[in-house]
A = this chain, B = another copy of it.
Amino acid sequence: MIKVAILGYGTVGSGVYEVIMNNRNSSEEAKRMEVKHILDLRDFPELPHSHLFTKDYQEIVNDPEVSVVAEVMGGLHPAYEYTKQALEAGKHVVTSNKELVATHGAELLQLAREKNINYMFEASVGGGIPIIRPLTSCLAANDIYEILGILNGTTNYILTQMISEGDSFEDALKKAQENGYAERNPDADILGYDACRKIAILASLACHKNVDCDLIHTQGITEITLEDVEFASRMGYVIKLLGCFKKLEDGIIVRVSPMMIPKDHPLAGVESVFNGIFVKGGAVGDLMFYGRGAGKLPTASAVVADMIDSARNIDRNKPLIWNKTEENFILDYKEDILAYYVRVKGNEAAKNAIVSLFGTVEIISKDETAAFMTCVGKDGDLTDAIAKLAGEGVEVLSAIRVLKED
């Protein structure tokens, strides 16, 4: 038998237990897997497996029979300390904890390598969508030079409601909370922090170097209005919150921000709580991975797959690593090449100012407002020009980045 422990019996943890118990026939290793301990501070006397629960982590880390630990507690502490202790004790650790992977991934992967075991985190990005393993294994012969991801289901649900139901941001957020798609405090989602951790993990994998979340320009969706959604639609676009990674000659650009994407782009059809991750590889060209980016069973499915893979590689470290580096390889996001959609309070003077600053662009209007798209240019140059527009007395109501495909 392969004896495992689950740290945390919340949504994901209880899902992990359920998936292990219900999928015994899916593989040889699933058949041989036995949950020996579950760590949680709460009591669950009503559960048939209540005898598995413990409040004492030392019981798990000191149990030589336990070979795989699923850390699904979330948060940095004590998850970080527990993970380190487990790896030091020679136990494989798998996790859905994107915050921990994004923050301490380099160190924990290095520790796993030294101990010849594995630290796996398929569930940390895209929930149940296979993405970590495809990037590291199936695309091993590719230079991954661009990733565009709808990485957060909550914000994608909110934007989809705004686009298809005409809900305001506030109403859509309320619906998301009522449906359990958003936390009572939704900041981590709507301000883009969750997407930031996920693109940090994908970027680190794509360039084999640690990409620090704190260096990623991150912007949420709180300023997106229904007017923008409608103008976008008239222009043939939809607004999505995108995590973006691009490899350039002298470094990388990483960013999280709302972007307008053409309606015929494969990511445009990724609706509601679904996630979509669009990857460009040197040899393989364009790929997209689509599925449920969160939820109890999809996330648990990825955690248990990692547990099975750990069992299959019980005596070896799989090649999955990125390194801490002092080198400054993250370029200023203002260097990125893209376009902007701009919406202004519209009148003749505004239109003249637009034309003098941005050349001949198509301006479309509704009521008191006018909107246009800039030509393609450097992010920094375009925002400078937009600031000049304001300097000339034009009231700029919104400015959203536009994805331009080569």
Contact = CB atoms under 8 A, between A and B. Distances in A.
Nearest to A16: B141
A285 B289 CA distance: 14
Contacts of A301: 139, 141-142, 281, 283-284
Q: Lowest 5 CB-CB distances: which A-B pairs, in order?
A: A130-B138, A141-B304, A128-B284, A283-B301, A130-B134
A287 interface: yes
Nearest to A33: B141
Given A26-B140, A134-B134, 17 more contacts: A20-B141, A23-B142, A23-B143, A26-B143, A27-B141, A29-B319, A130-B137, A130-B138, A138-B302, A139-B301, A139-B305, A140-B309, A141-B304, A266-B269, A284-B291, A289-B290, A312-B318
Nearest to A297: B283
Contacts of A130: 130, 133-134, 137-139, 287
A308 interface: yes
A283 B138 contact: no
Contacts of A266: 269, 290
Contacts of A139: 130, 301, 305
8 contacts: A23-B143, A25-B143, A140-B309, A141-B304, A142-B301, A285-B292, A287-B290, A288-B290
Interface in A57-80: none
A101 interface: no
A392 interface: no
Interface centre among A26, A129, A307 (most CB of B within 10 A): A26
A133 B284 CA distance: 16
Given A287-B128, A288-B291, A23 B308 contact: no
A254 interface: no
Contact of A28 (B20, B288, B319): B319
A324 B265 CA distance: 42
Interface in A302-326: 302, 304-305, 307-309, 312, 318-319
Contacts of A19: 141, 283
A298 interface: yes
A122 interface: yes
Contacts of A29: 140, 319
Contact of A142 (B26, B28, B284): B26
A328 interface: no
